Structure formats: C-alpha cells, structure tokens
Amino acid sequence: MKSIIFQFLISLYIFNVSAQITITNATFPKVGDTLKTAVSLDFAGTLAMGTTGGPKTWDFSILNEGIKQQEIYLNPAVGKDASAFPEATMMLLSDGQEIYLKSSVTKLEGLGFGGANQFFDAPLVIKYSKRPVLRIAPLEFINTTSTTGEFRIDISSNIIPDTILAGLPFKPDSIRVQFSNTIKGLTDAYGNLKLQGKSFDVLREKVESISQTQLFIKILGVWIDPLPFLGGNIPGGFGDFLGQDTTIIYNFISNTKKEILVSAEYSTNNELQSVTFADLGGVISSTKDITSPVFTVYPNPVSDILTFTTSDLQAGKYFITVSDLQGKIVYFETATIQNDEARQINTSSIPKGNYILTLRDQYNTFTRSIKFLVR
C-alpha cells in the first residue's frame, strides 16, 4: 500500500514539474530580430500530433525540407507608412510586405500593413478595424485564447465588372470586401519535441482558425448586407468568393526559441494542408528561397496588356486589384488562378503612372504585391 502511495506521489510530482512549462514574453520578437522558418505546402509524410495532456514526446526529425522564409523585425520608423501607425513598436518585413505591430508586456498585436517593401515603394495602407492578437504571455498548460482580426477593402462600382453588378436590383455607390479571421486556441498538451537534431520542452496549442470573406454594398451613403435582398445569391459568380473556411492548427511553442517550432495546418477533414517549422540550421532543402522574386509582371512599363505570374501560390480563388500610389483601386477582378499560370490585365484604360498589382486569396491567407508603370 505504501508503495502504491509512493508511486502516486512520484507521478504527481513529475506531472506538476513537467506541466510547469511557461511561455513568457521573452519569446516576443523585438526590433533587430530575424526569425527563420521553412514551409512545406505539399508535405508527403505523416505527422503525429498526439493526444492531450502530457508529458508527451513529438519527434519531428522528418521536417528538414521546405521553402525558406524570413521574418525581419525593424524599427517602424524606417517604414514608408510609419506615420499611419503611430502606436507601432516594430515593423515586420515578411514575404515582401510591411506589417506594423504593437508589443506590450502581455501581448503582441497587429495594427495593419503597408506597401513599402522590396517589390515596390508606395504608401498603400490597410488598417485593421479589429486588431488581431498574435501572441500572448504568459502561456501555460492549460490556457485558452481568443482573438479576431478584421480589415476591409472598398471598391468603387465604376470599376467593378458589369457581370457582377448585372443581377443587383440597384446600383451601389461602392462595394466593400471584408476579411476577418477568428482564432480560438487551447494549450492542451506539453512535453518534449525533437527537430533537426535538437530537443525542446514545448507547449502544444490547438487552434481553430475561422477565416471569413463578406460583401457589403453602399447605397445612399449607408453600408448594407445585400444577401437578404438577393435571396442569398450574389450574381456574376462573385458569391463563389464569399463564405468561410475553418482550419485546425497545431502550434508547438518553446520558451527558448522565438520561432514557433512547428505549426501544422489541417482541414476539418484532418487533411494536412501545410506545415511551417523553424529553420534551426538543419534545413537541407535545395528548393528556392521564398525571398527570391516569385511574383513577376511584364512588360514593365506597360501600355496595353500586362501579364503577371507567381510561382508560390496554391491554386484557388483570388481577388485581383490594381491601386494607385494613394491606395485608390483603379482595377478589380475575381479569378480562379493556378500556380505558375500567366494571366493578363488590360491596362489601356488606366491613366499613365505608377500602380500596384495585388493578389489576395479568397480568405486572405496569401497576398502578393508588385509595382508597375503604365506609360
């Protein structure tokens, strides 16, 4: 009997010690940091996420090949759009986009993003109407998290294709496309993770991510939801771009690395969609670096037909916009695009000047921008 009680006490002690993994704000990125990761969009292996509780062991030694990427954290003052984000404490340069952030003792939140990057130099500013919380501290077993990020893009009806407007019983002044992402997380497991020959004590956070795209129209100065007036049917195929998508993401976080060690994204059918993992120096992939030019336009300058292609997107539905340097949208289109597909835009009706072509997927999980000149 004493032996059973002793074993129980030892087990309880081990559980309490093991469960005291705490992720602090020391893992928040700071100005001057460069976080290195790799991403695989077509991972062919199997990753065992395991069950809840702990201590667990996750061996992700198989993760050593993918497209390299970097997150570079800079002083926001160096950004072209710094004046639009006076609260920003840092700016993240990631995949060719400036993202303005505000860091405090307990959270890191997004403020919005701008257009100055290695692809173009232009004051294209989008602010979050609801700010997403990207990291919180402290994070322990068991914690829950919840946050929503939301922003909008307004488009004049003058540049929207007639096929989209034809079925409306009234012509709106403008159309608003609203993107939102709601995150609900639970740190439900803890243990040890092996990656690229190194070992880490980690917490596992299971996240439900709901991305939603909505449409609003402006009539007599008032924004309304047109769906009730249209019986839930948006004409011109535009309705195919609306709706919501739910994914389940498993994040493995250590208090000794600022990168999330492993982030595996699954569909609700438990199909692995992508996996992003820290580059600890053991990534042996010979695939191209994601910072190489994968989004191209030609000819540039252009006078009539602009062709663009990108080699790092997933096939799907995309919003295509062309904006001037003040952020005014002068061209808008919806399209289903394949990877490496060359597509064309007729620029003959666009006035001469510098413009920004932006691709944004249906749920804002992928975005690319590039500058070009109309002459």
- Chunk the chain into consecutive blocks of 10 residues (it has 375) and report each block's average pLDDT, rounded to whole numbers: 44 48 96 94 87 96 89 90 92 78 97 62 78 96 96 84 64 87 97 97 98 89 79 65 92 97 96 94 62 74 91 84 85 87 90 89 85 89
- The DSSP letter of residue 233 is -
Establish if 152 belongs to a structural domain: no
Within this chain, do residues 79 and 134 fall inside the same structural domain, yes or no?
Answer: yes
Boundary residue ending a domain (278, 303, 332): 278
- What's phi and psi for 65, nearest 5 deg? -145, 130
Q: Is residue 150 a contact partner of residue 112, using CB atoms and an 8 Å limit?
A: no
Residue 120 CB coordination number (10 Å): 19
Establish if 283 belongs to a structural domain: no
Establish if 15 belongs to a structural domain: no
Establish if 13 belongs to a structural domain: no
Query: Residue 251: enclosing H or E segment and its boundaries?
Result: strand 243-254
Establish if 205 belongs to a structural domain: yes
Establish if 8 belongs to a structural domain: no
Within this chain, do residues 107 and 197 fall inside the same structural domain, yes or no?
Answer: yes
Within this chain, do residues 267 and 299 fall inside the same structural domain, yes or no?
Answer: no
Within this chain, do residues 205 and 253 fall inside the same structural domain, yes or no?
Answer: yes
pTM of the model: 0.84
Within this chain, do residues 301 and 258 fall inside the same structural domain, yes or no?
Answer: no
pLDDT at 309: 87
Establish if 190 belongs to a structural domain: yes
**Number of domains making up the chain:** 2
Within this chain, do residues 202 and 314 fall inside the same structural domain, yes or no?
Answer: no
pLDDT at 94: 65
- 12 torsion bin: left (phi>0), alpha (psi -120 to 50), beta (else): alpha
Within this chain, do residues 38 and 183 fall inside the same structural domain, yes or no?
Answer: yes
Instruction: Check which CATH number belongs to the domain holding 316 and give it.
Output: 2.60.40.3080
pLDDT at 1: 47
Within this chain, do residues 96 and 207 fall inside the same structural domain, yes or no?
Answer: yes
- Residue 192 is part of which domain span? 21-147+176-211+245-278
Rounded distance between C-alpha atoms, residue 194 and residue 342, angstroms? 41
pLDDT at 237: 63
pLDDT at 285: 61
Structure tokens at 239: 């309705």
Within this chain, do residues 271 and 329 fall inside the same structural domain, yes or no?
Answer: no
Within this chain, do residues 187 and 99 fall inside the same structural domain, yes or no?
Answer: yes
pLDDT at 12: 37
Burial 323-362 (b: 16+ CB within 10 A, else e): bbbebebbbbebeebeeeeebebebeebeeeebbbbbbbb
pLDDT at 115: 61
Within this chain, do residues 305 and 258 fall inside the same structural domain, yes or no?
Answer: no
CA distances to 47, 243, 297 from 266, in Å? 11, 18, 33
Find the radius of gyration of the CA atoms of the chain: 23
Within this chain, do residues 37 and 130 fall inside the same structural domain, yes or no?
Answer: yes
- Of 63, 26, 58, 59, which is closest to residue 43 (Cα–Cα)? 63
